[in-house]
Amino acid sequence: MSTTHQSNADLSAADLSSERLDHQESSVSSTWLDRKVGELVAEDFRRAHIFSQFGIDFCCGGGKPLSTACERAGVNADEVLNALNTMASLGSQDDKLNQLPLSELIDYIEVTHHKYVREKAPLLIEYSEKMVRAHGEHYAEVVPFAGWIRALVEDLMPHLMKEERILFPAIRALSQGEQIEGCFGHIGNPINAMQHEHEEAGAILQKLHELTNDFTPPEYACTTWRVCYATLAEFEADLHQHIHLENNILFPKSLNLAQ
Ligand SMILES: [Fe+2]
Ligand SMILES: [Fe+2]
């Protein structure tokens, strides 16, 4: 990656995070507690998913203010506002990323998500192997868990490398109007290969969900075990956003350019 690319990406990432904070301060506030749940959903249907997660009735009980709905559901209103805030900021960030030139979107993906995977994947291996050493004898489920964590990391590391060394340079060239010359033929071929690898990572995460009761530590779990599941949940959320940017924004726009 060139120095110019790096600085652009840093700027974009900084712009996005400051915008995210501004958005958080201005969009969702405690005054929303006085607004009707149904009205909030009518404005943005994605809020319904959050209300569902908290057990808040947005359908028949949609005429009630959010504060009353939270009380009835027995949930902390601040937690609901925080979840609405996070969703709003992600939406705003997505719009911004969708407008970036492709080379800057690639910079953003590399300095944000690829860097994140490289930082957190070794921790997941370390924690899961520690779980096997400490508890593998008594709690057999930690052994396949650690095996699937290793499989996920061993799939992801070469995947990042292939994107950075083969696909992303080709997309950068395409976005500058250059003819691309690669051993892979049409750009659709490496894009298909990367999408297939995204599906494989998704299948491994599904296995991990099944093995861990959706990353819920059992009562007898030690601290490492709990930290490992929490790290994995965060890792999955980051990977979803990462794959979303590639599958739904970067790849379709690159295919359009190649037509
Ligand atoms: Fe990637
Ligand atoms: Fe990818």
Question: φ and ψ at 36, to 5 degrees?
Answer: -75, 140
250 CA from centroid of ligand 1 (Å): 10
Averages of pLDDT over runs of 10 residues in the chain (259 residues) are 38 42 53 89 79 82 89 92 86 84 96 96 96 92 96 98 96 88 84 96 95 94 93 93 92 91
Render pLDDT for 215-236 as a digit per residue (tens, 0 to 9). 999 999 999 999 999 999 999 9
242 CA from centroid of ligand 1 (Å): 6
Write down the pTM of the prediction.
Answer: 0.73
165 CA from centroid of ligand 1 (Å): 11
Residue 13, pLDDT score: 44
Residue 63, pLDDT score: 85
112 vs 99: CA distance, rounded Å: 17
75 CA from centroid of ligand 1 (Å): 37
246 CA from centroid of ligand 1 (Å): 7
249 CA from centroid of ligand 2 (Å): 12
The contacts of residue 54 (CB under 8 Å, 6+ apart) are: 70, 73, 75, 79, 80, 83
226 CA from centroid of ligand 2 (Å): 28
4 vs 16: CA distance, rounded Å: 18
171 CA from centroid of ligand 2 (Å): 13
